[in-house]
Structure 1
Amino acid sequence: MELDWWEIFLRVGCAFFLGAMVGFERQWRSRMAGLRTNALVATGAALFVLLSADLDDVSPTRIAAQVVSGIGFLGAGVILRDGVNVRGLTTAATIWCVGAIGVLAGGGQYAGAAVGAATVMAANLVLRPISRRVERGVASASSEFLTSYLLRVVCRDEQEAHVRALLIQTLSGGNFTLRSLHSEHINGDGEHVAVQADLTTTGQQHALLEQAVSRLSLEPGVSSVRWQALDEAEA
């Protein structure tokens, strides 16, 4: 069945627009697959379906199955392993859904494509804070959730090297990964230095950090010690 040019334009335009809508949310959160990637995935899926509409000897369902297979390889490219955590699963799942949106738009199922795009955006926007609360509720020292901590020690300038060494020694006994350690002079005060450590660990290690704070606060020249847990960025 040969389609009119305006029908082709409408189907491709619908796929491009809906894919770009989903991609905007990913781009806003600085994910690897953003606005252009999702728009191109949806557009490509629609074009493949349109090709099957012009070829009488090719089944549209067969083309759609090949599109899903191809998008699976594309989604695998954005999945990364970071220690015990796997990142990029949400982005890969979004790409997979965007491919389905493109297939629906290419097949002329505009309502289904629009509902699919709205559902994907709702899952990424609405379910994100809910999943955060669930993670915080079930996290423990033995869980596999990755938690980030920021530990800050203010000490006298001459104690900086000692505090840095003591900080590394104190944290080496726990299941912490030191991502960064840097020092900077406090503005307007040339006598004190802020030593800041960026840490990650599996589960929650609040008790170990409290012990580290107690140990560091007893050091002469240390004026303040504090730590805070940071929300890990979603995949």
Structure 2
Amino acid sequence: MADLDFVLRLLLAAGCGAVIGLERQYRSRTAGLRTQALVAMGAAAFVLFGSELGVGQGSLQIVAYVVSGVGFLGGGVILRQGLSVQGLNTAATLWCSAAVGCLAAGGLVVPALAMTVLVLVVHLLLRPLGRLVDRAPDAHAETIGAFVLTVRALDEREQEVRELLSDALESPDILVHAMSSHPDGPAEKGVVVLEAELLVEGDAAELLDAVLTRMSRDTGVREMSWRADDTPLEVRSRPRLGRA
């Protein structure tokens, strides 16, 4: 391959990456203009290097290494904040920029340009569509929150109440993070407190109230409540019961 052809393919890769990066830079994303251009150009350089060596399937092997390497690079821009994950779009865009670089390295000018245009179309046209879907009536119904469910039960019925609680929490929308128990203290002897740390998806009030309703049928349960950090304490109590 002539040196001029080598350089032109690198420039094509860098130019397509820069076009993709312009949109990311305008959105103030982590991987912007320079990062996208460098990823595309670097992927092209590696593939071109493999073809220059002229070793059988060397170029295809290098493409596979580029794919896995960019995957690790994309992992660096993915951030987790609480229960939400940010940076997935940026990581996917880096992967697409690497693909554009590989296409450019293969001399596939039209596919490289088409890939660049499609990446921009996805970001520019599907973004408003995604926001429109987010504004649908049920869009905010599927939320995830952390809650603590507390059950005060008779000490002698702890095992039965614990099993009943585990059964009541068996739901695809409820994830039990931890469950613990401790004596109620000097306030009332013979009573144990069970606490379950939960992650609830959807309408937490409806789901947890259903759990409390089911638990209230057991005579070993004295009092129940659930709470969240950002909501007031919701209490569902039953009258005091004597020992069974």
TM class by shorter chain equals: 0.5 to 0.7
Corresponding residue number in structure 1 for 2:110: 111
Runs of at least 4 residues off by over 3 Å? none
Report the structure number with the largest CA radius of gyration: 2
One-letter identity of the residue aligned with 2:103: L
Corresponding residue number in structure 1 for 2:139: 139
Corresponding residue number in structure 1 for 2:163: none
Higher relative contact order (CA 8 A, sep 6+): 1
Compare 110-119 and 53-62 and name the one that shifted more: 53-62
Q: Where does 1:82-93 land on structure 2 (aligned, <5 Å)?
A: 82-93=81-92
Q: How far apart are the structure 1 equivalents of 2:142 and 2:50?
A: 52
Q: Tell me which of 30, 43, 47 is aligned to 2:45.
A: 47
Q: Where does 1:20-169 land on structure 2 (aligned, <5 Å)?
A: 20-57=18-55, 59-137=58-136, 138-144=138-144
Q: TM-score, normalised by structure 2?
A: 0.57
Q: How far apart are the structure 2 equivalents of 1:106 and 1:142?
A: 44
* Coordinate RMSD, CA, aligned: 2.1
- Residue 140 and residue 99 in structure 1: after superposition, are their counterparts in 2 closer, same or farther (change >3 A)? same
Query: In the TM superposition, what is the alpha-carbon distance from 1:31 to its structure 2 partner?
Result: 0.1
Q: How far apart are the structure 2 equivalents of 1:122 and 1:104?
A: 18
Q: TM-score, normalised by structure 1?
A: 0.59
Q: How far apart are the structure 2 equivalents of 1:141 and 1:54?
A: 56
- Residue 78 and residue 126 in structure 1: after superposition, are their counterparts in 2 closer, same or farther (change >3 A)? same
Q: How far apart are the structure 1 equivalents of 2:28 and 2:106?
A: 31
Task: Please list the CA deviations of residues 31-77 of structure 1 after superposition, one character each: whole Å capped at 9, or x if unmatched.
Answer: 00000000000000000011011112252111100000100000000
Secondary structure at 2:80 match in 1 = strand
- Residue 74 and residue 100 in structure 1: after superposition, are their counterparts in 2 closer, same or farther (change >3 A)? same
Q: Where does 1:5-24 land on structure 2 (aligned, <5 Å)?
A: 5-24=3-22
